[in-house]
Amino acid sequence: MPSYVMLFHFTHEGLEHVKQSPDRVDKIKKVFRQSGGKVKDFYLMMGEYDSVFIAEAPDDETIARIALLIEAQGNVRSETHRAFSEAEFRKIVAGLP
């Protein structure tokens, strides 16, 4: 299953209600499960981003829907990247001319 890195910034509203963030993390995990994916890891971060999810989803369309559902709540803005495992990386590189 494809892996994704989802980076988040709190919005003003998200910071006003930051104490509810653990419940929102639980809800996001549930959305992933219901969509056929899973959250592998979650981290609160210091620096440019406020938090990150390392997750798996069946395909790009599913992760796009999940990202839109999360952002529609108004607590965060996200940036999602496809992440390739070491095995996928080796296969990609092996296919180079």
Cβ proximity of 40 and 54 under 8 Å:
yes
Is 84 in a helix, a strand, or coil? Answer: coil
| Sequence-distant (≥ 6) Cβ neighbours of residue 35 within 8 angstroms | 57, 58, 62, 65, 66
C-alpha 93/C-alpha 85 separation (Å) is 12
Q: What is the model's pTM?
A: 0.91
| Sequence-distant (≥ 6) Cβ neighbours of residue 84 within 8 angstroms | 3, 92
Q: State the pLDDT at residue 9.
A: 96
Distances (CA, A) of 80 to 8, 13, 20, 35, 95: 9, 21, 23, 17, 26
- Give pLDDT tens digits for 35-77: 999 999 999 999 999 999 999 999 999 999 999 999 999 999 9
- Give pLDDT tens digits for 4-31: 999 999 999 999 999 999 999 999 999 9
Residue 81 is classified by DSSP as E
For strand 76-83 and strand 51-56, is the pairing parallel, antiparallel, or unpaired?
unpaired
| Fold of the 3-94 domain | Alpha-Beta Plaits (3.30.70)
**What would the two tokens of residue 52 be?**
């990150």
pLDDT band at 79 (very low <50, low <70, confident <90, very high): very high
